[in-house]
Amino acid sequence: MLFNIFAAAALAATSVLGSATPTINLRDESLTLNPPISTINEARDVPLSQLEARSLTNARRLAEGLPLNPPKRRTHTEVSRALPSGTPSNDVRQGIIQVFTGDILLGYVKAATNSFGEYGITADAAQALLVSVDVTDAATGVADIGTINGPDASYPFFGGIVGFSSSNDDLASGSFNYVYLGATTQTEPNSPPVDGANSFTHATSLSKKIESAIWTFDASTNTLTSQWINTDSSSPATFIGYYASDNVFILTGDKTTFTNNFGPTPWVTLKLVA
């Protein structure tokens, strides 16, 4: 079924390019979205998935370098009584993420990452990444998307990882720079890129900076929108693309410059569905 996804992505990219005025292809053939496959660290530890980690005792979690299980929650009634009058209660929603290009449903964000530790698409909703979003926070500013069934319990956020061929950590008009969507640790809202553990670095041993709090949510359309923060704390235009040949989502600040350097790329919309 992935073939159909790739075909749909290619068709979407072709239709977009076909409507544009023909231009000279200035693509730099030396650029690659990902490093050589030889960089993958075959000797790396096999990660413990989030589902596997959830069943561990606290003693085992400590041994694995994972945070302790949260204490048993009180009942809803007990929590409500403990909240002062007028204290807002945030709306945390769980679901999977649909991927659209225009009106075409390409599939869902996949729970398993590719060989480089990057998230891509699956046509099977049963194989989709289950996420948790505080939509109250995400409606008023950038917020995290937590993952529930991700491939590595050490990186429980759906975040951005600076791309292998990017010239620096910033996205901008006129730049082909890009960011992978992968599994990350948590960063502060409105923080520029920081050093942090992530799935790409774990897979390749190449150190790249990350951001996790890059998401906003529109409750009227269930749309998730990304916002990268540059090193000078500015907020560039941020577009989400799907690079089908590597089955990976990317963020960039300039769609035209990115495609001129890396090839046709459908631009996508992400929607949270229960």
- 224: nearest Cα among 137, 117, 151: 137
Strand partners, 147: 131
Domain ranges of the chain: 2-273
Distance CA 217, CA 205 (A): 33
Among 38-47, 120-129, 157-166, the minimum mean pLDDT is found in 38-47
Q: How many residues does the chain have?
A: 274
Give the mean pLDDT of 202-222: 97
Range 71-82 average pLDDT: 38
Contact between 120 and 111 (Cβ < 8 Å): no
Residue 73 has pLDDT above 70, yes or no: no
User: How buried is residue 272: exposed, middle or buried, by Cβ count under 10 Å (0-12/13-18/19+)?
Assistant: buried
Mean pLDDT, residues 223-231 taken together: 98
What's the pLDDT at 25?
Answer: 43
Q: What is the spatial distance between Cα 34 and Cα 226, in angstroms, rounded to a whole number?
A: 21
Give which of 215, 195, 204, 194 is closest to 165, Cα–Cα.
Answer: 204
Mean pLDDT calculated for residue range 82-106: 78
Q: How many CB atoms lie under 10 A from the CB of residue 259?
A: 21
Three-state secondary-structure class, residue 228:
coil
Dihedral, CA of residue 173, residue 194, residue 142 and residue 149, to nearest 10: 110
Question: How many other CB atoms sit within 10 Å of the CB of residue 35?
Answer: 16
pLDDT in tens, 167-202: 999 999 999 999 999 999 999 999 999 999 999 999
Beta bridge partners of 159: 182
Exposed / middle / buried, residue 51 (Cβ in 10 Å: 0-12, 13-18, 19+): middle
Q: What pLDDT sits at residue 5?
A: 60
pLDDT digits (tens, 9 = 90+) for 28-44: 667 999 999 999 987 66
Rg (CA), the chain: 19
* 11-70 per-position pLDDT tens digit: 555 544 444 433 334 556 679 999 999 999 876 666 677 777 665 555 554 555 655 565
What is the predicted pLDDT for the residue at 75? 37
Question: What rounded mean pLDDT belongs to the chain?
Answer: 84
Q: What's 83's DSSP letter?
A: S
Does 215 score more than 90 pLDDT? yes
Tokens for 195, please give them: 């050093």
**What is the predicted pLDDT for the residue at 85?**
39
Q: What's the confidence (pLDDT) of residue 6?
A: 55
Q: Are 134 and 91 in contact (CB under 8 A)?
A: yes
pLDDT level of residue 164 (50, 70, 90 thresholds): very high
Which pTM value belongs to this model? 0.81
